[in-house]
Structure 1
Amino acid sequence: MRPLPPEIEGEKRTVKPVERTQRIFIFGATGSIGKAAIDVCRKTDVQVVGVGIKNNTESLAQLIPGLNLKVIHISDKTIRKSGLNLPYSAKLFLGEENIEDAIIESDADTVLNGVSGGAGLRYSLATIRTKTKKLALANKETLVIAGKLFTKAVEESGTKVVPVDSEHSALFRLFRGVDRNLVRRLLLTASGGPFLERETSEPTPEEALSHPVWQMGKRISIDSATMFNKVFEVIEAHHLFRFAYDRIEILIHPEGLFHSILELTDGAMVALMSVADMRLSIAYALAYPEEPRLNFPLRFESVKNCRFLPADSEKFRALEALTHLRLGANNSYPIALNAADEVAVSAFLNRTIPFSSIVKIVLETASAFDRKEPNTIEDVYHLDKEARALAEERVKKWMFSCT
């Protein structure tokens, strides 16, 4: 995949609103991104033609009234249609093996991948295999665990990939007006999470989930508290924009108003500033290459303070992973990071391990995971499974050490 979609380089920014009705398929519809996307669609002329969930049928029933759905996809094959109250017009697809069929049946222009974790890779791959016009990518793990292979597949498919993460959405927009040859560094901002300014020995899951700026899902909230989320965002930016790891930095910005910054070769900075609302980047991704109709005004008089602090690897040990990446760790390392993080975060949320053990388990698992570079998607899945098993062993060892 080129550093940016071909139409971005040298294009003139289009300012007219979307003129035709877009058709969108939302995977991860009952998650925080999915719900926000449905809210955006209800307030614009984007038609939701398909939704996909894992198994939360109760939340699905609350979301679908008023949507003219053609397709519903449920990845959990144990769900029975007889127990569902589905729209008469909607066709049901069950199982991950039917993702592509569901997308094709929906006739969607855009797929929004809001699935959480490494499981989301299947949905991104299905989207480009069906040659859907656009993939609005909120699943960062697609690029974290399969970045090199996925970007190559995107090149061959012709599908446009537009990032939904607020930091990457900001960079995507900034690059539409800035020559990448004039950019020295990418600066991704981070709020610092709930423990930036207060010390706590062993926070509870409830404390770690209380993000001071964003309303997010459970795993990403915990990853924000440990700072692994920002490590994964650096990997995502590396693959999306083709900048070396040593040219991507993290900047702590607790207020969450500046989302990303380009440092130019002459020392000038170009930044995107907006309210902290995921609907903004979702609306932008859905409308691209046009401009979204929704308005998210930022009142300058409401801005009381804007702080920018260096990212402290002593306070946030998860940032040590960036050193391995900058020293040339191959693409099996991010796979192990993500797999171990999913295992450790789940164990913490289940109160099996303490908060402090998350970073230790993830870094130790990834550092010990010395494997060859994955050459195929099947290699990625194999390495992911292997890394999860190693992380689960470390969780069990911690449990036994406490008995």
Structure 2
Amino acid sequence: MQNIAILGATGSIGRSALSVIANHPDRYRAGALAAGSDAKALAAAALAVRPQTVAIAEAAREGELRDLLAQGGWTGEILSGPKAAERLAADPRFDTVIHAIVGAAGVGPAFAAAEAGKRLLLANKESVVCGGALLMNTVARCGATLLPVDSEHNAIFQCLHASGEGGRQAARIWLTCSGGPFHGRPEVDLSKVGPEQALAHPTWKMGRKISIDSATLMNKGLEVIEAHHLFDFPPERISVVIHPQSVVHSMVEFADGAVVAELGEADMKLPIAYCLAYPERIAGDVKRLDIARMGPLTFSEPDMKRFPQLAMAFEAIRAGAAAPIILNGANEIGVQAFLDGRIGFTAIAELCRRTLERLQPAEPKSLEDILAIDGEARRTALTLAADLAL
């Protein structure tokens, strides 16, 4: 039986993971749950599944969490503080780590799981965006197994199995993208949209940060960088295509002209179940795709002028290892500033551009270097955001 630590247990990925685990109690156990600051949601999840350990990043919420768990009769181990998730990721009691922490806060736990040789089911794309080759080398050196949970990268992982290693050399990755809430709406003045409009994703139910990233297409930009590192493909062989129906989760085009695609409902329980059971497959408690009635599937090129952060991601890969870290850090600051009503929607991209132009750090050689560059990018973006204030 796999004993699993779920990092980001109260978010959408964490909740979906708990649902999959609950349907297969003979195979999986949720042994540890970690969250950022939502003590009530974490306590509710813990009282439902009775893990060995719970962890909360915001140490000030430990008392509340402890009281809630005690009221429910749970007496396991409680960890708190910014390093709590890293401790769980490295803990030898848990052979599998589902990593769904949002943002660059997940970089440290990803390295901790890799260094411990864990089976790492990764939904935190920022770990790969910032960790890059350093993370992938750590996975290989320490004998860890990294399986992508993001629906697009999980689809690519499955599609690549249609060919041997030789067939990958000339293959092309096609990342599909829903287009977000503003696709096909040229009448919308993006400089005037507010958070409520940008959060209204037409297909997926996601957290606030990733929903804004989907609206700007930055989410797809981060996925381009992630695919570059996960599958060792140069940016010239990675393409993005708008697919509003979100049925085709991604595709791989091989040298002979064949295109292999993975289709399914827009439900994160699908890739989670695939990664948990890999290389087997298990029964999934998800709605089945009704192929005869699903209607037409459409594809189109993204508008990189209207959504410039997607182009920035390709440029960041070519610029070097530090550029994706800076782009990600500046974007996180920009998204929060937009959600707080301090800058406009289009100012997120402008903030990223100005931060990239301002900073030119050396290529990172360690996790400490990565975190230092991320911190510098965030401090710079915070300063520059004042010039873009509404």
Shorter-chain TM-score above 0.5: yes
Following TM superposition, by how much is the alpha carbon of 1:323 offset from its aligned partner in structure 2, in angstroms? Answer: 4.4
Give 2:97's match in structure 1, choosing from 100, 107, 111. Answer: 111
- Partners of 1:205 and 1:90 lie apart in 2 by 39
Q: Note if contact 2:7-2:100 (Cα within 8 Å) is conserved in structure 1.
A: yes
Shift of 1:177: 2.5
Match of 2:68 in 1: 84
Distance 1:381 1:346, change over 3 A: same
Question: How many correspondences in the alignment?
Answer: 378
Task: Return the alpha-carbon distance in structure 1 between the equivalents of residues 314 and 226 of structure 2.
Answer: 16
Partners of 2:385 and 2:87 in 1: CA distance: 38
C-alpha distance in 2, partners of 1:191/1:394?
31
Are residues 175 and 231 of structure 1, via their aligned partners in 2, closer, same or farther at CA, if it must alter by over 3 Å? same
8 A contact 2:47–2:69 mirrored in 1: no
* 354-363 vs 58-67, greater mean Cα deviation: 58-67
Q: Structure 2: how far apart are the matches of 1:104 and 1:117?
A: 19
The reply to whether residue 157 of structure 1 matches residue 145 of structure 2 is no
Instruction: Name the structure 2 match of 1:58.
Output: 40
1:393 deviates by 1.0
Percent identity of equivalent pairs: 36
Partner deviation per Cα, 1:300-346 (whole Å, 9 max, x = no partner) = 133122101012212221122144246x2011100011000000000
Give 2:22's aligned residue: 42
Match of 1:360 among 328, 350, 356: 350
* Separation of aligned partners in 1, 2:196 and 2:160: 38
The AA in structure 2 aligned to 1:234 is V
Aligned residue number for residue 297 of structure 2: 306
State TM-score, norm by structure 2: 0.93
Structure 1 pair 68–80 and aligned structure 2 pair: CA distance change class (3 A): closer
C-alpha contact 1:99 1:126 (8 A) present in aligned 2: no
Instruction: Give me the whole-angstrom Cα distance separating, in 2, the residues matched to 1:250 and 1:41.
Output: 32
Give unpaired runs (5+ residues) of structure 1. 1-20
Q: Which moved more, 1:105-114 or 1:217-226?
A: 105-114
Equivalent residue runs for 1:170-249 within 5 Å: 170-183=155-168, 184-198=171-185, 199-201=187-189, 202-249=192-239
Task: Map 1:213-292; keep pairs closer than 5 Å.
Answer: 213-292=203-282
Over 3 Å counting, the alpha-carbon distance change for 1:103 and 1:180 in structure 2 is: closer
TM-align CA RMSD: 1.7
Question: Which residue matches 1:25?
Answer: 5
Question: RCO higher in 1 or 2 (8 Å CA, sep ≥ 6)?
Answer: 1
Contact 2:5 2:88 in 1 (8 A): no
Normalised to the residue count of structure 1, the TM-score between the two structures is 0.90
Contact 1:333–1:367, Cα closer than 8 Å, also in 2: no
Query: Unaligned stretches of 5+ in structure 2?
Result: none
Report how far residue 265 of structure 1 moved. Answer: 0.9
Query: Residue in 1 aligned with 2:55?
Result: 73
- Does the Cα contact within 8 Å between 2:7 and 2:85 map onto a contact in 1? no
